Structure 1
Amino acid sequence: MEQLDAELPIRDIFAREIFDCRGNPTVEAEVLAGEEIVGRVSVPSGAGMEAGSKTDDDREIPERTEKMVEVINTHIAQELIGRNVFDQEDIDKALLRLDGTDDKSALGTRTVFGVSAAVACAAAAALKLPLYRYLGGVQAKSMPVPVVTVTERRRIMVADTGKGMENRTGQYGIFLIPAEHLPFRTQIKMCVEICRSMGKASADIRETLGMLKTAVERAGFQAGQDVTFGIDASAAKRYDCGQKCYRFPGEIGKKGRGLQRTSQEMTVYYDELTAEFPISFIEDPMDCEDWDGWAEITESLGDRIQLSGSSLYRTDIKRLEKGIKMGAANAITVRTDRAGTLTELSDVIKMAQKAGYGVSLAHSTGETSDSLIADLAVAFRVSRIQAGCLCHMENMEKYNRLIRIEERVGETG
């Protein structure tokens, strides 16, 4: 992001409570500049790994939301009104000073990001530029590859009904990843057709991956060539910190007990899966504090698939720097609700790209219809975007925005 040699003062900053895709309250921030310029961003409600958040309990969301609205309308507004809307770096530094903590626990990462991004939206509107062009400049031309959710938590997504059926693969999520050389619109259309051919997930991940492979063929495509698969392993949910092992209660091990795997055995497990199925991407295959396990699996499998740290890195530049030095992962999944300011998000992405990492920009829990991450994906030239399944409008808004961006990028060369 480059600072423009122009000036337009921020006239007002305002926040309101709106509702997310689950009916939970969340925050929409507006930044007003000049007479009629408005930048507006709505943030996801889900806490995830947000700094200062003790729980994901939905019952606490209204209280958190009220606090976020109050903070934006008072403390943040007082600090930023009058500043130059085009000076993103200055504004982001002011937000960090106002928070005054290392983990943004005073204001909250979503509060900070909502205002920071709304400032950029206002600046882009003032120049009559799309956000991706304002932030990324003329080099913002490449499209991210969609990483489309097929199974999410305990549901399997059905594209023609929008309903979630039971997904008995436990804590695994499964993705479809179309070939990167295809146009974005074609990639999405292909994934829709495959999802419509997908049946009910099995309790066994191998059976589910086999069903997905069959669905690919039934839709008229070839697994491994037209599409590959991805896994959201969410290994932290399986990890026993005391025993230093990963628990698989659904699989029977010795003496009829739930199966346990060491980090080394997890590497072998994923090696076998990737040999059996066309898997090109695994997110969080190890626990976020199992650094040695991450280094081992990266050394073993990193030359043929992307091993992406989401919970591992938490969109935190210090953790990313540590991981790069240790050889942990070869990709990162970043999320706006963990980033803090727009400048910090950009810095994390740049560090990852400089290290040769693949970068995925992902949606968050409790999404809204805001398509911000679509523009950010193009602006920051990330390799992949994870915007969820192809059956809810809070997700489809992101994909549809990218279809429109692709048309515009094609027109301008």
Structure 2
Amino acid sequence: MPITINKLDAQEILDSRGNPTVRVYIELSDGSISAASVPSGASTGANEAVELRDGGSRYGGLGVQKAVHNVREEISPVLKGRSPFDQALLDQLMIDIDGTKNKGRLGANAILGCSMAIARAAARACQQPLYRYLGGSAAVRLPVPCMNIVNGGEHADNSVDFQEFMAIPLGAPSFSEGLRYVAETFHALKSLLKSEGLATSVGDEGGFAPNFGSNEAAIESIIQAIETAGYRPGEDIAIGLDSAANSFCEDLEKNYDLKWSGRGAMSSEELIELSGEWIQKYPIVLWEDPLAEKDWNGFKAFTERFGDKIEVVGDDIFVTNTNYIQRGIDNNTANSSLIKLNQIGTVSEAANAVRLCRNAGWRAFHSHRSGETEDCFLADFAVAMDSGHLKTGSASRGERLVKYNRLLEIERELDDAAEYYWQ
């Protein structure tokens, strides 16, 4: 008999910030049970799919009991009896049940939890690893780990304006060696910070969050740590940045205030000029959200000036949504899009966003969220989509390391078939 869905259930669990999120369970007719847990972001774009929160006083209004109810009472009855192998169809059914443009009625957290659980259950029923089920036999490329080793902005309580400073082991021969490169750099940075009397506590994504004297000082410390670990900046390990410019642009359009470092107010043009100085001075190969989500003209100007030198990634401006990504492609707004599963709300839609990027000659950069769980779905998804790089935090905090460790497992499974390269 064909395998079908018996039921979907859900419960409220806690994410890495101690806030509620959704875990979905799926039971198939063969008796197997699979589960998936949904991450949550702090730095979010205005057009992201909507997390459904309960409001009120419970958990400070962040409870997800409504989303749990929607899985049980609205989604499960419609999907019961259907084949778990029809991922795109089931995802579309949930979108139709919700009936809104932003998944705000059922909640993107409810829908994504079901979507991820369905994919995992189907892979298990096929006796395949998730990356193979989603990506087919061509899924052999391990992503370059863009490790966030310094946190700032809204992910830390410090004097750094930009949200993420990443070490990127683009010169490593394999994923496991690349992970070693940046993990050793992480530990070298910790020793360096200690020697300078700076704090070695970590931010939401596991990177260090000291009070540097300037934003530039954060980059220079990372470069020193790379060298201390025995690697060559720009050859073995390069730098990636995530400005998360929404966080210091109140109108989200063109007026910026580097408030945490004290650098002060800047126009879009001045911020681009500053970026140019850094790109010339430091081995930067990737820059995410250098401008705010409504600053389409600024993004375009940045890409026209630097897009032939570095990867310019749109996150809040595109929100893993093919409509916004297509607008970006048409207007040369960037040359890469961040891909976040919970930003769009289904596995199928995230995969479609990757395909759109690839067909346009863009790159797709997979990402976790600042509020994560111990679910390693992202690791398999990144391999399945063959996008070549991802960010999933630093070399600390278990909810980050579980993704890296899953990628090590996949590399071991692939053995000699495993591929690893930056471009």
State the TM-score, normalizing by the size of structure 2. Answer: 0.88
Q: Percent identical across equivalent pairs? A: 30
Equivalent pair of 2:233/2:283 in contact (CA under 8 Å): yes
Output aligned runs, 1:276-355, within 5 Å. 276-355=281-360
5+ long unaligned stretches in structure 1: 1-5, 157-163, 253-257
**Worse-matched range after superposition: 179-188 or 387-396:** 179-188
Of 351, 361, 364, the match for 2:366: 361
Q: CA deviation at 1:38?
A: 2.1
Q: CA deviation at 1:281?
A: 0.8
Q: CA deviation at 1:250?
A: 5.3
Q: Are the structure 2 counterparts of residues 180 and 90 from structure 1 closer, same or farther at C-alpha, using a change threshold of 3 Å?
A: farther
Q: Are the structure 2 counterparts of residues 180 and 315 from structure 1 closer, same or farther at C-alpha, using a change threshold of 3 Å?
A: farther
Residue 61 of structure 1 aligns to which amino acid in structure 2?
L
Of 179, 184, 188, the match for 2:179: 188
Aligned match of 1:34: 29
Task: Tell me how far apart the structure 2 counterparts of residues 301 and 246 of structure 1 sit (CA, whole Å).
Answer: 20
Q: CA deviation at 1:192?
A: 1.2
* Residues 185-207 of structure 1: per-residue CA shift (max 9 Å, x gap): 11111111111111244131111
Q: CA deviation at 1:226?
A: 0.5
Q: CA deviation at 1:212?
A: 1.0
Q: Are the structure 2 counterparts of residues 374 and 290 from structure 1 closer, same or farther at C-alpha, using a change threshold of 3 Å?
A: same
Q: Are the structure 2 counterparts of residues 113 and 250 from structure 1 closer, same or farther at C-alpha, using a change threshold of 3 Å?
A: closer
Task: Tell me how far apart the structure 2 counterparts of residues 167 and 195 of structure 1 sit (CA, whole Å).
Answer: 18
Equivalent pair of 1:308/1:332 in contact (CA under 8 Å): yes
More strand by share: 1
Of 5, 12, 18, the match for 1:10: 5
Task: Tell me how far apart the structure 2 counterparts of residues 194 and 16 of structure 1 sit (CA, whole Å).
Answer: 39
Aligned match of 1:90: 89
Residue 185 of structure 2 aligns to which amino acid in structure 1?
I
- Which runs of structure 1 show a deviation greater than 6 angstroms over 4 or more consecutive aligned residues? 54-58
Aligned match of 2:207: none
Equivalent pair of 2:161/2:243 in contact (CA under 8 Å): no
Q: Secondary structure at the match of 1:404?
A: helix
Output aligned runs, 1:22-171, within 5 Å. 22-46=17-41, 48-49=44-45, 50-52=48-50, 59-62=60-63, 65-153=64-152, 167-171=158-162
Residue 244 (str. 1) matches residue 239 (str. 2): no
Total equivalences in the alignment: 393
Q: Secondary structure at the match of 1:197?
A: helix
State the TM-score, normalizing by the size of structure 1. Answer: 0.90
* Residues 171-225 of structure 1: per-residue CA shift (max 9 Å, x gap): 4321111115521111111111111111244131111211111111111111011
Aligned match of 1:255: none
Task: Tell me how far apart the structure 1 counterparts of residues 28 and 260 of structure 2 sit (CA, whole Å).
Answer: 56
Task: Tell me how far apart the structure 2 counterparts of residues 183 and 112 of structure 1 sit (CA, whole Å).
Answer: 35
Residue 402 of structure 1 aligns to which amino acid in structure 2?
L
Q: CA deviation at 1:351?
A: 0.2
Q: Secondary structure at the match of 1:307?
A: strand
Equivalent pair of 2:162/2:215 in contact (CA under 8 Å): no
Q: Secondary structure at the match of 1:280?
A: strand
5+ long unaligned stretches in structure 2: 199-209, 419-423
